[in-house]
Amino acid sequence: MKEVTAQRTAGTLISSPDITPEELQLAVRNHSMPLEALRYDITPLGLHYLLIHFDIPPVSASDFSLTIGGHVSKPLVLSLDDIKARAATTLAVTLECAGNGRARLSPRPMSQPWLGEAVGNAEWTGTPLAPLLEEAGVRSGAVDVVFTGLDRGIQRGVDQWYERSLSLADASRPEVLLAYAINGAPLPPQHGYPLRVIVPGWYGMTHVKWLRSITVTDTAFDGYQQVTAYHYRTVQGEAGEPVTRMNPRALMVPPGVPEFMSRTRFVEKGVHSVQGRAWSGKGSIVKVEFSDDGGKLWSAAALEASASPYSWRRWTFDWDATKDGEYELCARATDDAGNVQPSDTKWNLEGVENNAVQRVAVVVGAPNQQQAPADGD
Ligand SMILES: Nc1nc2c(c(=O)[nH]1)N[C@H]1C(S)=C(S)[C@@H](COP(=O)(O)O)O[C@H]1N2
Ligand SMILES: [Mo]
């Protein structure tokens, strides 16, 4: 693919360098959520984003068991039926990949090249983890709870099972679930069949899929995905800040109709009800603002209630497109902890935690309006 230079009317541009075959390989395995799917309160299965580091592991439900061990007095081995027989909770949870927005950085960190749509809001059903930890009898001096998947691979030369940890306090929070269903159906292979952990409010890497063991440790867990990856670092070798909870973000359903290649939107003059969703893992969303001039002037959007404290909130804004011409629509979220989306990307080595405002290129009054279908928004 040729390098492209930024053009106002091309919504999804990457400045430099060219996308590599390796990034394309990852991009076609792991898809984002089409922005028009922001219309659904609960993201339909198949439209939810997907991130798989290595391979989807082969799993047989009958052979499957989860072990809870390590620094506990009574290790547990549970079948899927044992887990399903326990108290069940269903919770709407917004999941977003920590690398969302990575491909907008320049130079672009080499990994899954997300533009800005690595998100989904699903209804997860499972059993709370805290009572299981209690049953296993966590011993004094426990530090971390390690979640290990059935998938193995090599990343930056390190042969590993995919695993991540939480502090004992974070793992014991009541909203942390061992989930076996999504949107009322068993987990499909790509979302972690038969079992995964759901840690509401945290970036995606925390929600370990194909979960096979939970290990309580008495020293800090130092696995690759915990201490090497998922840190905000601007200089190679610095300690950096671990990536934890999601920064606030608002996204809109781009109004009108897209031009096939650039995805520039075409709308007619008049009022367009623009809608979208906003979420934060660091607080509750208290404000969403809308701009049609690239973020110079902002107006408050209307906010609706969310399905759960961990689910995105719908917002709407009646945009009055009074004049023909080119516009850059933006949305910006603020949470009650005072976090606001920045207007520009913040470069870091892994391209994580990038929550710069969304920018949608729109043309009002297409030259060939006669043939253009009516605006759907
Ligand atoms: N076992 C395992 N769990 C995993 C991953 C993985 O590669 N292996 N990817 C993580 C990352 S980086 C993300 S963003 C989420 C994606 O979850 P989803 O594919 O269900 O949307 O899963 C997380 N859990
Ligand atoms: Mo991720």
Which CATH number does the domain housing residue 212 bear? 3.90.420.10
- Residue 376 inside a domain? The answer is no
141 and 218 in one domain? yes
Q: Which of 53, 350, 352 has most ligand 1 atoms within 8 Å of CB, for mutation?
A: 53
Which residue's structure tokens are 């309006």? 369
Q: Is residue 349 part of a domain?
A: yes
Probe ligand 1: pick from 199, 207, 245, max atoms within 8 Å of CB? 207
Ligand found nearest the CA of 32? 1
Q: Which pLDDT score, from 0 to 100, does residue 61 have?
A: 83
Please check whether residue 84 is in contact with residue 301, taking contact to mean a CB–CB distance below 8 angstroms: no
In the prediction, which pLDDT does 246 show? 98
Q: What is the pLDDT of residue 189?
A: 98
Strands (E), 107-188: 119-128, 144-155, 158-167, 177-182, 185-186
Tell me which residue range forms the domain holding 50.
2-242
Say what the pTM is.
Answer: 0.93
End of a domain among 202, 219, 242? Answer: 242
Q: 229 pLDDT band (50/70/90 cuts)?
A: very high
* Per-residue model confidence (pLDDT) at position 3: 35
Q: Look-up: residue for tokens 């984003």?
A: 49
**Of ligand 1's atoms, which has the minimum distance to the CA of residue 53?**
7
- 73 pLDDT higher than 50: yes
- CA 252 – CA 329 distance, rounded (Å): 9
- Any atom of ligand 1 within 6 Å of the Cβ of 117: no
Percent of the chain with pLDDT over 90: 91
Question: pLDDT at residue 296 above 70?
Answer: yes
Give the chain's mean pLDDT. 94
What type of residue sits at position 239? A
Q: What total of structural domains would you count in the chain?
A: 2
Q: Could you tell me the pLDDT band of residue 376, with boundaries at 50, 70 and 90?
A: low
Mean pLDDT over residues 356-361, rounded?
98
Q: Mutation test of ligand 1: which of 32, 178, 209, 354 has the most ligand atoms closer than 8 Å to its C-beta?
A: 209
Ligand 2 center to residue 99 CA distance, Å? 6
Whether a cis peptide bond, with omega within 30° of 0, leads into 194 is yes
Identify whether residues 151 and 6 lie together within a single domain: yes
Considering 242, 261, 283, which residue would you say is the last residue of a domain? 242
Q: Is residue 372 part of a domain?
A: no
- Ligand 1 center–CA 204 separation, angstroms: 6
pLDDT of residue 62: 86
Long-range pairs of 301-305 with CB within 8 A, sequence gap ≥ 24: 301/276, 301/331, 303/278
